[in-house]
Chain A
Amino acid sequence: MLKLKGATVRFGGRAVLDEVGLDVAEHEIVCVLGPSGSGKSTLLRAVAGLQHLDDGRIFLDGRDLDGVPAHKRGVGLMFQDHQLFPQRDVAGNVAFGLRMHGESKQRQALRVEELLTLVGLPGAQGRAVASLSGGEQQRVALARALAPRPRLLMLDEPLGQLDRSLRERLVVELRELFAELGTTVLAVTHDQGEAFALADRVVVMRDGRIAQTGTPLEVWQRLADAFVARFLGFENVTGATVSGEAADTPWGKLPVPSDTTQGEVTLLVRPAGVRLVPAGEGLRCTVAARTFRGTHVAVRLQPEGAPRLEAACALRDAPETGDEVGVAFDAAEIVVLAGVAGL
């Protein structure tokens, strides 16, 4: 439905969007995930027609969007900080797109009512935008973007400014809502939790290029490279030399699955694969820090003369900061990544 071919945007000679190719199918929810500066917002702006492409093409329903101004593209965009019109009330904001499309007053009112009910703010028509809480503003912005029934709805950091619990609740609501409406969605976020919870398909971006794409499960299980691994929060990434079923790493010889590529590779040891054993066995480490993560404790370990390691362990097993422990590795949680280590 949406198709990008070699989409390129340069700011002062630097490619912010570098030959990006992307397909979004009808009714699909695609989430672009990347750190700030990776070009994900520019991607949305290019599709919306707010950013001119230096090269490449964008097609919507097979139609080339080149030269079509933003207001004639029929796509919706929900801005990062909502950008509600401060001088209009809630109804005025939601009805804005309908007015632009020449809907009658009566139909506008009906649609506004319908949408406000849909986003959980029934009867909020007359409220001033300034009186809304962050979550309510987000709902109004969503209703406003949905009102003209855009062929494609784009969300720029949709939940970025909200507090965590609200975010977690809204992301579920959004997914249910989009499924119910059959909306095609292209969202961008820097929050992996948000992306994995919302998307049918995740696209990880880095420096204007697509680093990896796949379902949340695929991305999570088969990390494309060291960048994606680190961006998704994995710390234990290192260069290694594999021979047979052992890899030579700064942390010593690690067991790897038997079908592992031989030679110079980049290895990821998932935190679950770092097992704590009594001091004196395995790799000797000092506990540098521990962070309570709700379901488990993340323990940062400092081996002698090697990079730090992160381990996940149950609360009752977690050692104290400063303790001496030993570390053993679990071959099943060791993954070979593409790309170069240290990035």
Chain B
Amino acid sequence: MDLARTEVAPPARPRSPHRGSVARLGLMAVPVAFFGVFFAYPVVAITVRGLKVDGVWRFGRIGDVLAQPDIRHVLWFTTWQALASTALTLLIALPGAYVFARFEFRGKQILRAVVTVPFVLPTVVVGTAFLALLGRGGLLDELWGVRLDTTVWAILLAHVFFNYAVVVRTVGGLWAQLDPRQEEAARMLGASRFTAWRTVTLPALGPAVAAAALMVFLFTFTSFGVVQILGGPTFSTLEVEIYRQTSEIFDLSTAAVLTLVQFAAVGAILAVHARTVRRRETALRLVDAGATARRPRGAGQWALLAGVLGSIAVLLVLPLAVLVERSLDAPGFGYYKALTRNEGSLFLVPPIEAVGNSLRYAFAATAIALLIGGLAAAALTRRDAGRLGRLVRGFDALLMLPLGVSAVTVGFGFLIALDEPPLDLRSTWILVPLAQALVGVPFVVRTMLPVLRAVDGRLREAAAVLGASPWRVWREVDLPMVRRALLIAAGFAFAVSLGEFGATVFIARPDNPTLPVAVARLLGRAGELNYGQAMALSTILMLVCAVSLLVLERLRTGLRSDRTGEF
């Protein structure tokens, strides 16, 4: 019924303006303004600076840069490693999503947080952890003499490590709320267990899988820290190349061209995604997530659970364990103690202060991302046909762009664009949360939108007929139902800003470093003490993330017991 209605052109009657549309445009105004000022403006500013030399446009540079064989090699590598990483991540993480959605087992809550921790770790740390695991003198080298750091496998595995949570959270979150009786209905109609899954559950999961795959592809396409560490001289992605051109060679014009290329590529990916996902988020039958999970039955299911737990242990826990082990490699917590001292000229403050900075920034960034993303999701929920519908879908894709645009470019753009009145934010602390929120908003929208769209439209109508204005409808009907998604979104936004590195490294002030920035600075220095301190600080970051995520998990389970916000 809803689908049928979207095909219909909006009745054009001048006497009665389409109130809903006006309201929706109003909701969209705030996110649009936010992205205009804090995203489009800085990115455009820096691109213009790279391509306009002495007041003259140098578009010829684009052709020159793209003709270079090493740039072509970078483009090719960026694309195929992203595809391979996405495929590998889906292959390994989809069974995990199933297990988390449908099985009940001891320690599930903690494991869910454990799985999410890698996602929030600074890329540099992950790169180093995998180097310690797979590189020279690493664990595999010690045990079997196997080294993978010279192969692309190190990068792919690190990408799986990073993005496992994206798939488990995005797909598993919806999977847990799908009514298992739909599958049972298919089985009663003669479908085998697999056919029932393929014809009923898979299509319902389709949008979530597509969303997750898109995210993984974007992250790996724009991968920075991991490739920086593990790629060596052989493998380089666009983002690494942009960073190299910007901060090492100071070739702003090549960086600008590469930024444009990345932008175009991401735009194309998002356009394709918008086409495939459109109209696939049909109203789903959602049920209480707690009611769909049960203990595994039979050897096959136990084997699946064991396989998933095993893959988590090897791929996610082992690198973290190596990280912790290294941080403790000095007697009497030596590396940790060193963090509280302000030694040398590396920092203006003791490194440990980065913890407070990171948390403060992350709270602010989460608040901003929830506000902007929440408004955007509300505006995108009800899709109308016609011109407005197209506009809304365009807006949908626009929101994803920050994920694809080089964080390095955004950070550098902030520095050169937001430093003069009326927008002189360079000296204010809000600059860092603003940049971090840019990356958080797409998560908020992506997490909330599928759930919002799956809310039965007639519940909203029921509320409207009982006298609820559109705003009250959102507050009374949508909000309670998406509270869970909202919390997940908040967790994502918080995690993203805690781990954000590419942009923050440019704009965080020397006396207010965030954790990832401090880690990178320590890693950039030679010496065992610096390396050890980096490991120790990373371990602290990991713990901060783990604790915040555990709090979030508790919040979620708490919600379940008081019955509100649940289906």
Cβ of A70 and Cβ of B464 under 8 Å apart?
yes
Cβ of B463 and Cβ of A67 under 8 Å apart?
no
Those of B416-470 within 8 Å (CB) of chain A: 456, 458-459, 461-470
Task: Compute how far the CA of A268 lies from the CA of B381 in the bound complex, rounded to whole angstroms.
Answer: 52
Cβ of B465 and Cβ of A71 under 8 Å apart?
yes
Option from A67, A71, A96, A147 in Cβ contact (under 8 Å) with B469: A71
Cβ of B563 and Cβ of A85 under 8 Å apart?
no
B41 interface residue per 8 A CB criterion: no
Q: Contacts A11-B5, A67-B15, A67-B16: A148 and B467 contacting too (C-beta < 8 A)?
A: yes
User: Across the interface, which residues of A come within 8 angstroms of B13, CB to CB?
Assistant: 52, 54
A320 interface residue per 8 A CB criterion: no
Q: Contacts A69-B19, A71-B467, A97-B467: A79 and B462 contacting too (C-beta < 8 A)?
A: yes
Cβ of B566 and Cβ of A71 under 8 Å apart?
no
Task: Compute how far the CA of A155 lies from the CA of B279 in the bound complex, rounded to whole angstroms.
Answer: 30
Whole-angstrom distance between the Cβ of B342 and the nearest chain A Cβ: 52
Task: Compute how far the CA of A85 lies from the CA of B479 in the bound complex, rounded to whole angstroms.
Answer: 12
Residue in A closest to B466 when the chains form the complex, CB atoms: A97
User: Across the interface, which residues of A come within 8 angstroms of B476, CB to CB?
Assistant: 85, 96
User: Across the interface, which residues of B come within 8 angstroms of A76, CB to CB?
Assistant: 465-466
Residue in B closest to A52 when the chains form the complex, CB atoms: B11
Task: Compute how far the CA of A97 lies from the CA of B477 in the bound complex, rounded to whole angstroms.
Answer: 13
User: Across the interface, which residues of A come within 8 angstroms of B15, CB to CB?
Assistant: 66-67
Task: Compute how far the CA of A108 lies from the CA of B461 in the bound complex, rounded to whole angstroms.
Answer: 21
Residue in B closest to A81 when the chains form the complex, CB atoms: B458
Residue in B closest to A51 when the chains form the complex, CB atoms: B5
Cβ of A85 and Cβ of B459 under 8 Å apart?
yes
User: Across the interface, which residues of A come within 8 angstroms of B462, CB to CB?
Assistant: 77, 79, 83, 85
Task: Compute how far the CA of A100 lies from the CA of B475 in the bound complex, rounded to whole angstroms.
Answer: 12
Cβ of A12 and Cβ of B8 under 8 Å apart?
yes
Cβ of B480 and Cβ of A71 under 8 Å apart?
no
Residue in A closest to B465 when the chains form the complex, CB atoms: A77
User: Across the interface, which residues of A come within 8 angstroms of B54, CB to CB?
Assistant: none
A144 interface residue per 8 A CB criterion: yes
Task: Compute how far the CA of A54 lies from the CA of B16 in the bound complex, rounded to whole angstroms.
Answer: 11
Cβ of B459 and Cβ of A83 under 8 Å apart?
yes
Option from A53, A66, A83, A100 in Cβ contact (under 8 Å) with B467: A100
Those of B14-42 within 8 Å (CB) of chain A: 15-17, 19
Q: Which of B464, B477, B481 has the largest number of chain A CB atoms within 10 A?
A: B464
Task: Compute how far the CA of A67 lies from the CA of B464 in the bound complex, rounded to whole angstroms.
Answer: 15
Q: Contacts A66-B15, A69-B19, A85-B477: A11 and B465 contacting too (C-beta < 8 A)?
A: no
Q: Contacts A87-B566, A96-B476: A101 and B467 contacting too (C-beta < 8 A)?
A: yes
Whole-angstrom distance between the Cβ of A156 and the nearest chain B Cβ: 10
B565 interface residue per 8 A CB criterion: yes
User: Across the interface, which residues of B come within 8 angstroms of A306, CB to CB?
Assistant: none
A62 interface residue per 8 A CB criterion: no
B7 interface residue per 8 A CB criterion: yes
B567 interface residue per 8 A CB criterion: yes
Those of B529-567 within 8 Å (CB) of chain A: 563-567
Cβ of A148 and Cβ of B11 under 8 Å apart?
no
Those of A1-39 within 8 Å (CB) of chain B: 10-12
B472 interface residue per 8 A CB criterion: yes
Task: Compute how far the CA of A76 lies from the CA of B463 in the bound complex, rounded to whole angstroms.
Answer: 10
User: Across the interface, which residues of A come within 8 angstroms of B470, CB to CB?
Assistant: 69, 71
Cβ of A100 and Cβ of B16 under 8 Å apart?
no
B188 interface residue per 8 A CB criterion: no
Cβ of A148 and Cβ of B466 under 8 Å apart?
yes
Task: Compute how far the CA of A83 lies from the CA of B456 in the bound complex, rounded to whole angstroms.
Answer: 9
Option from A10, A86, A100, A145 in Cβ contact (under 8 Å) with B468: A100
Those of B490-526 within 8 Å (CB) of chain A: none
B67 interface residue per 8 A CB criterion: no
Q: Which of A75, A76, A87 has the largest number of chain B CB atoms within 10 A?
A: A87
Cβ of B565 and Cβ of A87 under 8 Å apart?
yes
Task: Compute how far the CA of A24 lies from the CA of B282 in the bound complex, rounded to whole angstroms.
Answer: 37
Those of A52-92 within 8 Å (CB) of chain B: 52-54, 66-67, 69-77, 79, 81, 83, 85-87
Whole-angstrom distance between the Cβ of B154 and the nearest chain A Cβ: 47
Residue in A closest to B564 when the chains form the complex, CB atoms: A87
Q: Contacts A11-B5, A11-B8, A87-B480: A69 and B464 contacting too (C-beta < 8 A)?
A: yes
User: Across the interface, which residues of B come within 8 angstroms of A79, CB to CB?
Assistant: 458, 461-462
Option from B7, B8, B456, B472 in Cβ contact (under 8 Å) with A100: B472
Residue in B closest to A72 when the chains form the complex, CB atoms: B467
B189 interface residue per 8 A CB criterion: no
Whole-angstrom distance between the Cβ of B297 and the nearest chain A Cβ: 26
Q: Contacts A52-B11, A87-B480: A96 and B19 contacting too (C-beta < 8 A)?
A: no
Task: Compute how far the CA of A230 lies from the CA of B476 in the bound complex, rounded to whole angstroms.
Answer: 45
Q: Which of A12, A45, A145 has the largest number of chain B CB atoms within 10 A?
A: A12
A48 interface residue per 8 A CB criterion: yes
Whole-angstrom distance between the Cβ of A7 and the nearest chain B Cβ: 13
Option from A53, A66, A144 in Cβ contact (under 8 Å) with B466: A144
Whole-angstrom distance between the Cβ of B126 and the nearest chain A Cβ: 39
User: Across the interface, which residues of A come within 8 angstroms of B567, CB to CB?
Assistant: 86-87
Option from A11, A70, A75 in Cβ contact (under 8 Å) with B461: A70
Whole-angstrom distance between the Cβ of B446 and the nearest chain A Cβ: 23
Residue in B closest to A84 when the chains form the complex, CB atoms: B462
Those of B351-396 within 8 Å (CB) of chain A: none
Task: Compute how far the CA of A101 lies from the CA of B469 in the bound complex, rounded to whole angstroms.
Answer: 10
B56 interface residue per 8 A CB criterion: no
Residue in A closest to B12 when the chains form the complex, CB atoms: A54
A121 interface residue per 8 A CB criterion: no
Task: Compute how far the CA of A144 lies from the CA of B467 in the bound complex, rounded to whole angstroms.
Answer: 12
A297 interface residue per 8 A CB criterion: no
Option from A10, A87, A97 in Cβ contact (under 8 Å) with B563: A87
A232 interface residue per 8 A CB criterion: no
A279 interface residue per 8 A CB criterion: no
User: Across the interface, which residues of B come within 8 angstroms of A45, CB to CB?
Assistant: 461
Cβ of B563 and Cβ of A70 under 8 Å apart?
no
Task: Compute how far the CA of A261 lies from the CA of B465 in the bound complex, rounded to whole angstroms.
Answer: 49
User: Across the interface, which residues of A come within 8 angstroms of B7, CB to CB?
Assistant: 11-12
User: Across the interface, which residues of B come within 8 angstroms of A145, CB to CB?
Assistant: 465-466
User: Across the interface, which residues of B come within 8 angstroms of A67, CB to CB?
Assistant: 15-17
A318 interface residue per 8 A CB criterion: no
User: Across the interface, which residues of A come within 8 angstroms of B458, CB to CB?
Assistant: 79, 81, 83
A181 interface residue per 8 A CB criterion: no
Whole-angstrom distance between the Cβ of A75 and the nearest chain B Cβ: 7
Whole-angstrom distance between the Cβ of A199 and the nearest chain B Cβ: 21
Whole-angstrom distance between the Cβ of B286 and the nearest chain A Cβ: 9
B143 interface residue per 8 A CB criterion: no
Whole-angstrom distance between the Cβ of B470 and the nearest chain A Cβ: 8
Residue in B closest to A100 when the chains form the complex, CB atoms: B467
New A-B pairs, 4, CB < 8 Å, besides A70-B464, A77-B461, A96-B476: A79-B458, A81-B458, A85-B462, A147-B466
A residues near B, CB below 8 A? 10-12, 45, 48-50, 52-54, 66-67, 69-77, 79, 81, 83, 85-87, 96-97, 100-101, 128, 144-145, 147-148
14 examples of A-B residue contacts, CB within 8 angstroms: A11-B8, A12-B9, A67-B16, A71-B465, A71-B467, A71-B468, A71-B470, A76-B465, A77-B462, A79-B461, A85-B477, A87-B481, A100-B467, A128-B563
The 9 A-B pairs with the shortest beta carbon distances in the complex, nearest first, are A97-B466, A100-B467, A70-B464, A67-B16, A83-B462, A77-B465, A87-B480, A100-B468, A71-B464
